[in-house]
Amino acid sequence: MSDYLEYLKDGDYNLWVTFLRDDELVHFFDRIDQQMLAILGHMNKSSELTARGHFYYQTLFWIAANRQLRNAFAAALRRMSYDAMLIVRPALECTVFAYRIFEDPDLLKVWADKREEPAAYAKHFRREPIPPTMPHASEFRKFIDRANEYASHPNLNYFSGSAEFGENVIHMNYFDRKNDRAYYLQVFTLLLYAMRILEVMRKTLESRLPVYGVSTEGEWTKLESDFITLKEKYRIRYNIGPRPS
């Protein structure tokens, strides 16, 4: 079998091991995904989408964030942490972009004209601090910086941890080394930021679709509570973090 076919087979093997051993993690992400899709469904029914204004493009950013979250989590379940970090970065940035435009609709034109006016785009979207009113703004900034350093640029520190040196040969592993603690830390980091992105989505709907927010508050509260319970279960099992204060 060719190296590429071996790569596909091993990735799928890791995925199915996760389904068999940690199906509750997969199902929890599915619950987050369902809530995100429900929000997108409500946005899609809004008459404002036909105006093709800032609300329309906010929705496109959320769709992109949802797609990248799915892909990142699938990579993580295959024990491909480097690839997961690379994929999740645009999900985080889509979230920040959507919130910027939510707070200042005039920024939509800056984003749309980014090729004609790159300086304005760089100022407002790349160099401007994340709006402090966005939930968990400082956490998003730190994680985006980490993703840029860890995955978005060549990082020999990462690759050196995946390389095996033999006689006249260097073998680069596609998948993470066997380390359950590191694996579950990665998975729960992605679950955490999937929750954070969902929280930001809900924040942007507070003033626009308040009835939706109120009607789903109980479901959201249950999701938050179940996440704490799930984290504590795996914290004890794999020693993946301090006990919650």
| pLDDT for position 177 | 80
Please report, as a single letter, which amino acid is at residue 37: L
Q: Per-residue pLDDT for the chain (245 aa), expressed as one digit of tens each? A: 788 898 899 999 999 999 999 999 999 999 999 999 888 887 777 665 555 566 777 888 999 999 999 999 999 999 998 889 889 999 999 999 999 999 998 898 898 898 999 999 999 998 899 999 999 999 999 999 888 877 766 666 666 566 677 777 766 677 888 889 989 999 999 999 999 999 999 998 877 777 777 778 889 999 999 999 999 999 998 887 666 55
Q: Are 163 and 61 in contact (CB under 8 A)?
A: no
| pLDDT for position 171 | 65
CA atoms of 155 and 217, how far apart (whole Å): 42
Provide φ and ψ at 115, rounded to 5°.
-80, -35
**Pure H helices in 168-216:** 180-205, 210-215
| pLDDT for position 74 | 95
Q: Are 184 and 238 in contact (CB under 8 A)?
A: yes
CA atoms of 60 and 8, how far apart (whole Å): 31
Q: Could you tell me the residue ranges of all domains in the chain?
A: 3-238
Angstrom distances, CA of residue 229 to CA of 151, 197, 238: 30, 20, 14
Tokens of 109: 């034109």
* Residue position matching structure tokens 């929750």: 195
* Residue position matching structure tokens 């990735």: 11
Count how many Cα atoms sit within 13 Å of the Cα of residue 86 in the half-sphere of its side chain: 11
Residue 69: how many other CB atoms lie within 10 Å: 27
Q: Residue 171: beta bridge partners?
A: 164
pTM over 0.85? The answer is yes
Q: Which helix (H) or strand (E) holds 17?
A: helix 3-21
Q: Which helix (H) or strand (E) holds 170?
A: strand 169-172
Q: Are 240 and 138 in contact (CB under 8 A)?
A: no
Buried b (16+ CB within 10 A) or exposed e, 149-188: ebbeeeeeeeeeeeeeeeeeeeeeebbbeeeeebbbbbbb
| pLDDT for position 90 | 93
